[in-house]
Structure 1
Amino acid sequence: MTDVSTARREEIAAGLAQVERRIAEACAAAGRPREEVTLVAVTKTYPVSDIRILSGLGVRDIGENRDQEAAAKARDCAGLPVRWHFVGQLQTNKARSVASYADVIHSVDRPRLAAALGRGAVAAGRLVTCLVQVALDDDPGRGGVTPDGVPAVADAVAEQEGLVLGGVMAVAPLGTSPAPAFARLREVAEALRAAHPRASMISAGMSGDLAEAVAHGATHVRVGTALLGRRTPFVR
């Protein structure tokens, strides 16, 4: 009889193989080497045991979007060879905590947050890579700064002693083709790179639109459901 942990490992391995195939096909269609795209496994609401399975399968980049959950998981997984990506909206009062464990923060959208993250990184003796989140729609609830506001946020990140400006991140607008939004993000990324040549990261694309993101230059795709399956939210 197959035990639960073995069955779950097989389930995740199958999901990983399918996602890897999709990324490889998208890279081939775009004429890009597979090595140019990093898979960030988004494990929000999934247990630490899933992260351990992913690590055992060779996944090195783990994404979370809530500080309380992410901080606890980072502590529990301290011995694993993984990089922690914080991909959710971030309040300034959580910046110090997130800067103490996150290797890459994808959601910096205002200078005040950049300053708080810089202080937190310095206090923790760490160097944290930050991406400027770009708003590609008119929904303020999804976070991000307008394309016109990107240079100011990017400069604020670059000025911080404990931070490295990595590039940009965006979430495609809902209910429409993601391609125009990702094309716009690529334009923003190219303009940013002209001012900050080392800021080459483009975090874009999730389970449903990773192929379009890769076609428009994404270097990091954030995948949860397609990799780990749907989970019933835990309600206290």
Structure 2
Amino acid sequence: MSAAPTTAFSAFTLEPFPRIAPGDDLVEAITGVLDAQGVALADGDVVVVASKVVSMAERRHVDLATVTPGEQALELSARTGKPAEIVQLILDESTDHYLATERGPIIARHKLGHQLTSAGIDREGTTGAWLLPVDPDASARALRDALATATGARVAVVIADSDGRPDRRGATVISIGAAGIAPLRVTEHTEPGGRTKRQEETFTDLLAGAAGILLGQRGRGAPVAVLRGVVYARDDSGVSSMLHH
């Protein structure tokens, strides 16, 4: 069945957003900002959350002083200029990797199945790094359920991650976790002669990209955006269901 079209939607960020410390209640932070803004979540809203604040809340920090680079990490560090400890984490978090150019970036197949620059690892200064959530789809479901309990609104949650493309400069935003929304949107079109053409779109990636216009990159300080008016199918299969394994 062809998906219903979205003809218009609106979007807004939650800001100023408090700084999240390891172990903080992310839903409490979200509802606190909503209250301060005088805004309520509505049924059908899509709440897009940057993966880094999810990682912070889930204590996914690594002290680089605890990382011992191996021979492969030292070799890749010399070639790319990346700290050897970061390269070791990339190797530890991935199943395969290659260099987009002779000096990088390192494109890695994360253990979760995503192909990401640097395996999605986010450096914190010179002493630490943040890993992706252990199970982003499960994180999205937990956030969705907690938001429903706190607000009474039936929403979807998309966890978004900033990522580069191996074929071009610059970063974009993709989805790595989702709950309450089908990750693929299927459209069908009947061509002259009666042939039906079926197309699958990575719908949660489209939404993450749309939210990324507001979320921004480093230093923006707005890790949560709400998209309102998007038409979607409710589904809990998660982003993992559309990955090639």
The TM-score, its normalising length taken from structure 1, stands at 0.32
Q: Which has the higher contact order (CA 8 A, sep 6+)?
A: 2
Between Structure 1 and Structure 2, which shows a larger proportion of helix residues? 1
Higher strand share: 2
